[in-house]
Structure 1
Amino acid sequence: MTIHPRGFEFLKDVDVRLSVELGRVDMKLKDVLSLGEESVVILDRLTDELLDVMVNGKPIAKGEIVAQGNRFGLRIVELAGNSVAGDEAA
């Protein structure tokens, strides 16, 4: 087997799906079916917790929501495997 001299450079143009998970909740189907326009669903994440950033369903980072003009954006705060400064146990 021969490794291409460019290494993994050719993979950089592969499309992937990046998603941000705000939170989760387990619900019974009857409760989902009763949701309406004014319904509020309480998620398992606190407002000050970082959000999970996923690529093709695999966590790669944590981030926080920012406003960019009239759109939402995402600021990456921590990459998977790295810890936030000052967050390490002494």
Structure 2
Amino acid sequence: MTLPARGFDLLKDVDVRLTVELGRTAMKLKDVLTLGPESVVMLDRLTDELLDVMVNGTLIARGEIVADNGRFALRIVELAGDDASAEAA
């Protein structure tokens, strides 16, 4: 089923949760409880790897962090399921 382009206008004002995941790690609760202001937590991702961009928990893209006017921003590098970017990698 395909909706006409104007059919998506109804969805433009729907709130969604956009999440950018830097990485993950597994820790024991006792180790989490010892974290403080100077603690460093190692993640499973390297600094040159793309970050996961998710909407409501579903991966939609990959991107990289950039600085823009003194703030962090996200540059989308590839869309999930985009065969052209997968072949270039």
Q: TM-score, normalised by structure 2?
A: 0.87
Task: Report the structure, 1 or 2, having the larger helix content.
Answer: 2
Counterpart of 2:56 in structure 1 is: 56
Runs of 4+ in 1 over 4 A off after TM superposition: none
Counterpart of 2:11 in structure 1 is: 11
| Structure 2 alignment gaps of length 5 or more | none
| Structure 1 alignment gaps of length 5 or more | none
What percent identity do the matched residue pairs reach? 72
String of CA shifts for 1:5-35, please: whole Å, max 9, x gaps.
Answer: 9422201111111110000000000000011
Q: Which has the larger radius of gyration?
A: 1
Q: How many Å separate the matches in 2 of 1:76 and 1:5?
A: 23
1:56–1:5 CA distance, 2 compared to 1 (3 A)? closer
SS in 2 for 1:60: strand
